[in-house]
Amino acid sequence: MPTYEYACPKCDHTFEHFQSMRDEPLKKCPKCKKAGVKRLIGGGAGLIFKGTGFYITDYKTKRGTPDKPAGGDTKPAESKPAATPAAPAAAPAKPAPAAATK
């Protein structure tokens, strides 16, 4: 259940009230007892992590599928050079003429 912030425009009293989302907003100020209290728009409390941490068993995959390694436990993939197209086969070289001997 969220905590809502309220402000009374008549006595300038601001306060918080813990109530269900289904409950109607408060109408009377607890300090001056007059009607006209306005619910303020709050930023929220944010996300709070409690406990010792998260475990791999918290995110198990479906049965029969391989487990994916965690993000920090993998090595970067080795890059392979792109395959270059093969050059056309060159004609065999002609033998050099025999040198004249004296």
Domain borders along the chain are: 1-44
pTM above 0.75, yes or no: no
**Backbone phi and psi for residue 17, each to the nearest 5 degrees, phi listed first:** -140, 130
DSSP string, 40-82: PPP--------SS---GGGGPPPTTSPPPPPGGGSPPPPP-PP
Instruction: Give the pLDDT of residue 6.
Output: 94
> Residue 65 carries which side chain, given as an amino acid letter?
T
Instruction: Give the pLDDT of residue 38.
Output: 95
